[in-house]
């Protein structure tokens, strides 16, 4: 009969009913310094989380472009109040994309800013409406898609990566404000 490896002996003594840290993972954290902030507790989820964040990054970039297009179009229609709201949203979507890119790099990933695949990867659509109500409507649709995507991401990530979850929760609450503001502008 084979004698158990030292690692297995440790596991046999591991008491699942107590709140104790995994000492082996703490030791492992002292190694692999090239991984920066990524420690063993990320386990197999790191790449999936980076992929989710990159899709959200593409969405934020498309949303920035759509709001910019709408800002300049609405300004031309002499609708300064709504144009101003589109501009503020464009700036906030840009800030979201920067937060996502920063988190991707912290996780050891590469933020994908490639323009050639942006629309395919984005959850939300670009829009070239010339009419004010059509612009508001398409932005509200995009915000609702973003709210649904971020809500699903937060549920998927759960306690697997609390830093990413907090970033997503902050973005989600701002998307909810955007949707709320747009629905006030929408005429029934
Ligand atoms: Fe956003
Ligand atoms: Fe938004």
**What pTM did the predictor assign?**
0.85
94 C-alpha to ligand 1 centroid (Å): 7
Gap from CA of 186 to ligand 2 centroid (Å): 16
Each residue's pLDDT expressed in tens, for the chain with a length of 188 residues: 444 444 444 444 456 688 888 888 888 888 888 888 888 777 789 999 999 999 999 999 999 999 999 999 998 888 889 999 999 999 999 999 999 999 999 999 999 999 999 999 999 999 999 999 999 999 999 999 999 999 999 999 999 999 999 999 999 999 999 999 999 998 87
Give the per-residue SS3 of the chain. CCCCCHHHHHHHCCCCCCCCCCHHHHHHHCCCHHHCCCCHHHHHHHHHHHHHHHHHHHHHHHHHHHHHHHHHHHHHCCCHHHHHHHHHHHHHHHHHHHHHHHHHHHCCCCCCCCHHHHHHHCCCCCCCCCCHHHHHHHHHHHHHHHHHHHHHHHHHHCCCCHHHHHHHHHHHHHHHHHHHHHHHHCCC
CA of 106 to the centre of ligand 2 (A): 24
């Amino acid at each position: 009969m084979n004698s158990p490896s030292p690692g297995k002996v440790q596991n046999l003594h591991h008491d699942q009913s107590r709140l104790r840290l995994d000492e082996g993972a703490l030791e492992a954290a002292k190694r692999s310094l090239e991984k920066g902030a990524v420690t063993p507790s990320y386990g197999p989820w790191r790449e999936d989380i980076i992929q989710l964040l990159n899709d959200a990054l593409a969405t934020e970039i498309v949303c920035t472009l759509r709001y910019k297009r709408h800002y300049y179009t609405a300004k031309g229609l002499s609708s300064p109040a709504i144009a101003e709201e589109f501009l503020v949203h464009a700036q906030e979507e840009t800030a979201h994309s920067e937060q996502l890119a920063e988190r991707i790099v912290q996780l050891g990933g590469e933020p994908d800013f490639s323009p050639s695949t942006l629309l395919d990867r984005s959850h939300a659509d670009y829009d070239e409406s010339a009419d004010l109500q059509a612009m508001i409507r398409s932005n509200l649709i995009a915000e609702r898609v973003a709210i649904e995507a971020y809500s699903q991401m937060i549920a998927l990530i759960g306690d697997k990566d609390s830093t990413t979850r907090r970033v997503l929760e902050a973005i989600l609450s701002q998307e909810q404000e955007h949707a709320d503001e747009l629905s006030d502008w929408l005429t029934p």
